[in-house]
Structure 1
Amino acid sequence: MHLHSYRLKNFRRLKDAHIELADDISIFVGSNNSGKTSATQAIYSFVTGGKDRFSLYDFSSSCWQEFEDAGRIDLAAPLPDGFALPSIDLDLWLEVAASDLYLVIPLLPSTAWEGTSVGIRVSLRARSSTDLIRRYQEARAKGAEQSGGLPPDSLYAPWPRSMTEYLQRELKNEYELNYFILDRTRFDKDYREIGEYSPDELGGEPGGGTILRSLIQIDNLGAQRHLADPNPEAGGRSEDLSKRLSRFYKRNLSQRQDDHTALKALFDSEQALNIHLDGVFKPMLERLSRLGYPGINNPQLKIMSALDPAHVMSQDARVHYQIGDDEGAATLPDSYNGLGFKNLIYMVVEILDAQARWASMDNRPPLHLIFVEEPEAHLHAQLQQVFIRNVLELLKVDGEDGSIFGSQMVMTTHSPHILYERGFKPIRYFRRRKVGAEQLTEVLNLSAFYQSQPDDRDFLERYLKLTHCDLFFSDAAILVEGNVERLLLPVMIRKVAKTLRSACLCILEVGGAFGHRFKSLIEFLGLTTLIITDIDSVALIAQPEVDNATDEEFEEFEIPTDAEAVEEEAPLAEAQEDANEVPEAAAPAANTKYGKACLPSETGAATSNQTLIKWLPGKLTLADLRSASEEDRTRELHDGAKVRVAYQTERAVTWSGSTETLCGRTLEEDFGLENPEWSQDVARRPLGLIVKGGAANPKALAKGLHDKVSKKSFDKTKFALAVLTEAENDWRVPTYIRDGLVWLKDEVRIELEPVVPEEILKAGEIAEGNEA
């Protein structure tokens, strides 16, 4: 038996969230304040605690307005059918094998029940909605009556000023936990109720709470593990690792209580220690007496040893760290070890302790659910991976393989290294949503993506392992063409979109050939994304004879084979007919094309960039790419998330006294055209963009830049580093990147732009005119 999933309603930002769990380990990820901790706290509070664990602040924000509206109801008029105040509901769905069926008999909806899913609902709801409203209105009327003598201009209002204020104090008295049996046949595949459904209440003895706790034991290892710091002035709460290990000994390990040799040694030590304590504390006690203690009838102070043989480990045993292996090796107390290792030891001891206590329980629940928050605290990357790789070994109990007892672990993390080690399947992604003014969260099961996207999943999983998994913790993503864009993007953001520096951005280097492979994952996550890629213009050619061609002479790329793609190919048909086609028997597949790199200005040019062809804007020819509208380049996902592509666009380039409308084929070429005077200055020789012999006009400059960048000898990384050394100089960000970053800045608005008064702007314009 294991917990298959649970649904939370009206709990904080989890207004209606369904969370599926793996039968061994599940990993909750998402950006900060996305509800990961709330998802663990809710189930922990419902199962292990009671109504006293909840407060009004646990209700979703939309419920507060419902409470206020209910407080104004006229109880003299009949209430609508089915009226009820908001409740917080938890639906738990257990997956039960036939051999475990006897464990859940109280939860079966009928004697005709078939299947493997058993459900129970725990609901924090009003004892009586009508009586609650009446008591609130009476309390409000009484307060108004008692404060009637106050001056009429007084701003003071007696309690309760509102229904929510009343519930802040009275929720524990007005609300209670109710338990219901759920029938799986009345729910759809997503575990949502079908139609009007009123589950049967689980009443009688032993009661729903007792039944639930007899099935599930929950332990929680919180994120705030306050380990002792060697600096006594560090302040804050702390827990000495030695004390933690002592508690573990006290709870779980066999203790020596009949060894009289050891007891005699303790007795002798206690006597000697008492004599010592009398001596060392005597001066302090004498000084205390001069301050008036002990006075008349006050007891005397005596400092004595507390060497209790039954509790010696918990009181006086200390953890030490030994340096070296010989008998004379030095030892250090536990506070002198690093916080990372102390955290690792602490987590292991806590998990083993939880497992040992569960294994030794009377009437032991068959399912043990362990929540671990942020295990990565103080651990370096490799140690995080070692922990997550081996943590399931800690859950094994000797001799219980194949028994009715089992453990599940749920982990919340912000560590991409933990995701690296575990892959997609255990990930549960908490995606933040905004519906109106309300902040909500939807939980996505990455194992569903893993099963539904076999073509892309393996590539994406391997790629994210080779780079990083920051995608799951970001406010937005930027997919870039290559290393140059990745290096320069922070500087470009600082130049044209400063407020993006406050956003959590994931910058992934994916290239034009593979960027489209991220389409399914980005759309599944619903993550706002900017794609910065190259136009990669090519002149289409017939299939080359491989024996007479080199990889540098042509590019092979694919285009979709659907009807839309055929229509896009139509303008190229004439060019293809004029080419020297190979014999029909050796013709390439219909979706394979070949091209040679060319300037974007060349007539009939196409793009070989798979992102532009297969994702956005879904165009093949450069003519179509140039005419693509803003709508063509942008795609709405859901809940306001969007994807936009940015590639080189034509604009006026002025050089040697003439102006042409041009764009570059790659970032380096376009950068040179955006900054012609700056990049061609002899002082910028390290960029590698200076055209030998100069260029007579903008077209010649574009041709010269293309020839330089296309050479094998051109070092793109050197170019990027050279630009970085000039980061503070007055070079301009290429237009297509600037427009994309400005778009993203408006979509992910965190900082407010500084507001410049209109008169200051006018003064600046006048000053510029005077300087000119």
Structure 2
Amino acid sequence: MKITSFALKNYRRLADVTLVLDDKTTVLVGANNSGKTSCIGALHTFLKSPDNLKVRDISKLNWKTINQLGVSIEQKFPSSEDMEALSVNLASLLPSLDIEINAMANEAYKVRDILPDLEWRGGAICVRIAYEAIDISKLVREFVDTRKVVLKHNGVSLWPRDLCDFLEKGQNLSKFIKPKHYILSKSAVPSVVEFGEEGKSSVNEVLQPFKSEALKKLIRVDVISEQRGLGAEDNAEQKGPYSEKQRLNKLLREYYDRILNPEDFPEEQDLGVLAQQQALEKGFTDRLNAQFDSPFNELKAMGYPGIGGNPTVEIAAKISGMDALQKSSSVRYRFNKEDEEFLPESYLGLGYQNLIYLTFRLLEFRDKWMRVGKSASSGGNVEEQIEPIHLVLLEEPEVNLHAQVQRVFVSKAYDTLRKHVDLRDEETTKDKSEYQTQLVISTHSSHIIDDIDFKDLRYFRRNDANTSITMDHTSIANMSELFTKAKDELLFVKKHLKLTHCDIFFADGVIFVEGQAERLLVPEFISKHFQGLSNRYISMLEVSGAHTHKYRALVEKLGVTTLVLTDLDSVDSNGESCFPQENLDQKTCNDTLRLWHPKKELLDELVALSKEEHATISQGASLYVAYQKSTLISERKVLSRTFEDALILANFENEFFQKKSTLKTAKAGHEDNSKLLSESLFNYVKGLKKGDFAFDCLFHLAENEEKSFNPPEYMSEGLKWLQTQLSPKG
């Protein structure tokens, strides 16, 4: 049994998305503010803490419509007949979550409480958690009565301004709006629900209510938030910013420490107590370290303590008045088992603290799920069945972890959750099917996805408002659709990204460049001439024109704004490289220009292409393909074939290039019309080591901050387009 998908509606940016889960690990990626954290938050709210829902969690698009409902009921108090329609319309604007579970026929006894019908013989089961008004009449009456008081003080802004404002204050939302659970099946019969001037049409959905406990018996949910607060006191159990219990506890600890603590300047009557305390501490410490021996060994699979003298971890029991008040044990670090010296917990770096914290949380989740040790009796009913599905939500594990540890941890996290005799066969290391673990990770780290199969990625794609969703929203691209059976081009993309960097999955925009020279100098052009792009998150990938088009499927799936800086790559009728000339039926050998955009092969057509035609929409992704065009030198057109000769032409009078005798001769030949400049530059570039050329240019620029090169015109046009595309709206 496993969860196959979540369909979420009306939650923040996630107005209408479907998250397809992998059998084991699903990794959520995307640019900043694309909705990854919102997705984790939504799953946690729906499945574990339903009272956490806030008015601001409702998609912004729906606030206005909810307030319009409030206005309509103020103008005309709805009749009992209208109440039901009002309730349905309000529910259609509130968050809902559809969960699809796939179970086998022999698991029918586990899912009996959510079966759609008695004819079910295995396969998909769909349930819905939907927030609805539990008593619409009471909600309407209290809102209208409250508004009447406000209207008596016209001209003064008082609460509530509207229906959203009414629900937002205090506990009103959780008082009137509660999640309801339904078994869901669909038919093709359309239905229309009307209230006032509002009309909603949808596919008729057959809903059978069921108790929320039935779902809790099937799915156990555990969460590790990115707000872990390492090094601070854990106030997770407190309901507010502080509590009297917390303040009293702190006061008693301080009083005991300062006034009563027998360890400070002990009197004779304290010595017996201290001797007993130390004997108890030793016995308890030995017992604790024996109990923790196995989980501490599991840390070694995560690469801790590693090499370089990292200290091992041990537990030290503290039995004293102070520790009794604190109700905690002390953690310390020892460098050598034979030594008496140790370091307190706070002395270890945040990276290792975080690694230890994450590992133990996963161990805790697994062991509580499997009812290991005392957790078997701590939950009340000892005979209660273990949930078939364990859903673990992990936010940003990379916090404070260096790159190598990130990769090791994530590759081992799922294995840690499965390391139990009832979950995995120790001999074959294969998972047992009775209990399913599904790990969902959100991350901003390209290092983490270096070691992850791309089919496990779910890309959160930011979208502008459109005809179907009139607000900025997110859609989720399922990378398994691309990479599950990847062949040829996508296999190249997968391998290339692994060998370079996977930050395309987190970027606002991507720039593809031809070679090392462009890779080194385009950032220089951006910092000097396009500073607006310096404030954007851009992924730059070095791929030749022969291969850039292979990224097309990925770019279109991601919908990421893309600039391709490529070369004209002219060839003659025999397919041999040649210096570019118009009106000679030359062609390009650049597959990106031939196969992706602008899908032209003749050099004359490429050179004649208007500036506007360089930009296009490639299956929803904004795309601009830039390549060399004619440049006027001494009032005559000159064509360049690659970046190097285009850079020289754009800076033809620059002393750096004019100091080179070959280029000085080429300039003279152009001026006296004895030799074509395109041919001279073609021959010059052909003899270059392009890496050396790029570094020579960089060394020249590094000599003096005032020195700079003009970017070739085709690059300027492309970067100008990209800067416009990535500029904030309005």
Shorter-chain TM-score range: 0.7 to 0.9
Which residue in the other structure is 2:30 paired with? Answer: 30
CA contact (8 A) 2:504 2:539 kept: yes
**Contact persistence 1:502–1:750 (CA under 8 A):** no
Quote the residue 1:413 is aligned against.
Answer: 443
Contact kept? 1:540, 1:595, Cα under 8 Å: yes
Counterpart of 1:164 in structure 2 is 164
Name 2:105's counterpart in structure 1: 98
- Supply the distance in 2 between the matched residues of 1:308 and 1:688 (Cα, whole angstroms): 85
Report the residue type matching 2:526 in the other structure.
I
1-structure distance, mates of 2:559, 2:392: 29
Deviation digits for residues 423-448 of structure 1 (CA, Å, limit 9, x no counterpart) = 21110100111206722110111001
Question: Which string of whole-angstrom CA distances, capped at 9 and with x for unpartnered residues, describes residues 99-142 of structure 1?
Answer: 32211111111112244111110001123556534432221112
Residue in 2 that maps onto 1:607: 588
In the alignment, structure 2 segments of 5+ residues that lack a partner are 190-199, 236-259, 271-316, 377-381, 425-431
Query: Which residue in the other structure is 1:739 paired with?
Result: 717
How many angstroms apart in 2 are the aligned matches of 1:20 and 1:599?
A: 50
User: Which residue, out of 179, 182, 185, partners 2:181?
Assistant: 179
Change in CA separation of 1:337 and 1:537 when aligned onto 2, cut-off 3 Å: same
Shift of 1:274: 2.5
Q: Give the counterpart letter for 2:628 in structure 1.
A: Q
**Counterpart residue number, 1:318:** 330
Identity %: 30
The one of 501, 518, 541 equivalent to 1:485 is 518
CA distance in 2, matches of 1:439, 1:238: 38
Aligned partner of 2:601 among 604, 611, 620? 620
CA distance in structure 1 between the aligned counterparts of 2:648 and 2:449, rounded to whole angstroms = 40
CA distance in 1 between partners of 2:649 and 2:636 (Å): 11
1:132 maps to 2:110? no
**Residues of 2 paired with 1:140 and 1:335: CA distance?**
54
What displacement does 1:359 show?
Answer: 1.2
**Number of the residue aligned with 1:666:** 642
Quick one: distance in 2 between partners of 1:538 and 1:679? 31
Matches within 5 A, 1:273-422: 274=262, 276=264, 307=319, 317-324=329-336, 327-328=338-339, 330-360=341-371, 361=376, 362=382, 363=384, 364-396=386-418, 397-401=420-424, 402-422=432-452
Q: Counterpart of 1:760?
A: none
Matched, 1:464 2:497: yes
Match of 2:548 among 510, 515, 519: 515
Pick from 724, 729, 732 the counterpart of residue 701 of structure 2.
724
Distance 2:84 2:628 in 1: 61
Equivalent positions of 1:7-18 (< 5 A) are 7-18=7-18
User: Would the alpha carbon gap of residues 515 and 727 (structure 1) be closer, same or farther in structure 2, given more than 3 Å must change?
Assistant: farther
The aligned counterpart of 2:623 is 643
Contact 1:56 1:171 in 2 (8 A): yes
C-alpha distance in structure 1 between counterparts of 2:122 and 2:609, whole Å: 53
How far, CA to CA, are the matches of 2:390 and 2:531 in structure 1?
48
Aligned pairs for 1:416-565 (under 5 A) are 416-435=446-465, 438-451=471-484, 453-541=486-574
2:453 and 2:334 map into 1 onto residues whose CA distance is: 37
Contact 1:601 1:662 in 2 (8 A): no
1:403-433 Cα shifts (integer Å, max 9, x gaps): 5222111101111111110121110100111
Work out whether residues 26 and 440 of structure 2, in 8 Å CA contact, stay in contact via their aligned partners in 1: yes
After TM superposition, the structure 1 stretch with the greater mean CA deviation from structure 2, 507-516 or 194-203, is 194-203
Q: Tell me how far apart the structure 2 counterparts of residues 238 and 716 of structure 1 sit (CA, whole Å).
A: 56
Letter aligned with residue 476 of structure 2: V
Query: What CA distance in whole angstroms lies between the structure 1 residues aligned with 2:581 and 2:333?
Result: 67
Task: Give every structure 1 segment of 4 or more consecutive aligned residues whose post-TM-superposition deviation is greater than 6 Å.
Answer: 184-187, 311-314
Letter in 2 for 1:488: L
Q: In 2, are the aligned partners of 1:8 and 1:18 still within 8 Å (CA)?
A: yes
CA distance in 2, matches of 1:673, 1:88: 58
Cα distance in 1 for residues equivalent to 2:662 and 2:85: 75
Q: Indicate how the Cα distance of structure 1 residues 167 and 711 shifts in structure 2: closer, same or farther if over 3 A, else same.
A: same
Displacement of 1:680 in angstroms is 6.2
By how many angstroms is 1:277 displaced? 5.5
The verdict on how the C-alpha distance between 1:65 and 1:20 changes in structure 2, with shifts beyond 3 A counting, is same
2:221 maps to 218
Deviation at 1:511, TM superposition (A): 1.0
Report the counterpart of residue 277 of structure 2 in structure 1. Answer: none
Q: State the AA in 2 paired with 1:399.
A: D
1:365–1:123 Cα change, 3 Å: same
TM-score, structure 1 as length reference = 0.74
Q: What is the alpha-carbon distance in structure 1 between the residues aligned to residue 568 and residue 666 of structure 2?
A: 25
From 627, 633, 637, give the equivalent of 1:653.
633
Question: How many pairs are equivalent?
Answer: 613
Deviates more, 1:73-82 or 1:419-428: 73-82
State whether structure 2 residue 689 is matched by structure 1 residue 678.
no
- Contact (CA 8 Å) 1:653, 1:674: kept in 2 or not? no
Larger radius of gyration between Structure 1 and Structure 2: 1
RMSD: 3.2
Preserved contact between residue 490 and residue 551 of structure 2 (Cα < 8 Å): no
**CA distance in structure 1 between the partners assigned to 2:17 and 2:657 by the alignment:** 59
Tell me if the contact between 1:679 and 1:689 (Cα under 8 Å) persists in the aligned partners.
Answer: no
Aligned counterparts of 1:213 and 1:449: Cα–Cα separation in 2: 34
Q: Distance in 2 between matches of 1:329 and 1:512?
A: 64
Relative distance call for 1:690 and 1:376 in structure 2 (3 A) is farther
Can you list the C-alpha shifts for 1:469-516, whole angstroms capped at 9, x where unaligned?
A: 100101111111111111111221133322111111111111111101
State the alpha-carbon separation in 2 of the partners of residues 132 and 689 from structure 1.
82
* SS at structure 2 position matched to 1:435: coil
Instruction: Tell me, yes or no, if the aligned pair for 2:511 and 2:565 is still in contact at 8 Å.
Output: yes
8 Å CA contact 1:477, 1:527 repeated in 2: yes
Separation in structure 1 between the aligned mates of residue 324 and residue 141 of structure 2, nearest angstrom: 59
Is the partner of 1:274 in helix, strand or coil? coil
CA distance in 2: counterparts of 1:143 and 1:102, whole angstroms: 55
Distance 1:679 1:517 in 2: 39
Aligned residue type for 1:225: R
Counterpart-to-counterpart distance in 2, 1:358 and 1:653: 75
Q: Which amino acid aligns with 1:89?
A: S
Mapped partners of 1:182, 1:613: distance in 2: 49
The answer to whether the 8 Å contact 1:491/1:727 transfers is no
For residues 376 and 313 of structure 1, the distance between their equivalents in structure 2, rounded to whole angstroms, comes to 34
Q: Secondary structure at the match of 2:109?
A: helix
Q: Distance in 1 between matches of 2:117 and 2:622?
A: 47
Q: TM-score, normalised by structure 2?
A: 0.78
Following superposition, the deviation at residue 76 of structure 1 comes to: 5.3
Q: Conserved in 2, the CA contact under 8 Å of 1:219 and 1:354?
A: yes
Indicate conservation of the 8 Å contact 2:568/2:590, yes or no: yes
SS in 1 for 2:580: coil
Residues 184 and 425 of structure 1: is their aligned pair in 2 closer, same or farther, counting only changes over 3 Å? farther
Decide whether the 8 Å contact of 1:496 with 1:742 is kept in 2: no
- 1-side partners of 2:341 and 2:666: how far apart? 69
Which amino acid in structure 2 is aligned with residue 71 of structure 1?
G
Partner of 2:127: 120
- Which of 133, 142, 148 aligns to 1:141? It is 148
TM-superposed CA distance for 1:365, in Å, is: 1.4
Could you say if the C-alpha distance between residues 462 and 8 of structure 1 is closer, same or farther in structure 2, counting changes exceeding 3 Å?
same
Shift of 1:602: 7.2
Tell me, which stretches of 5 or more residues in structure 1 are unaligned? 149-154, 188-192, 229-236, 241-271, 283-304, 542-593, 753-772
How far, CA to CA, are the matches of 2:41 and 2:667 in structure 1? 70
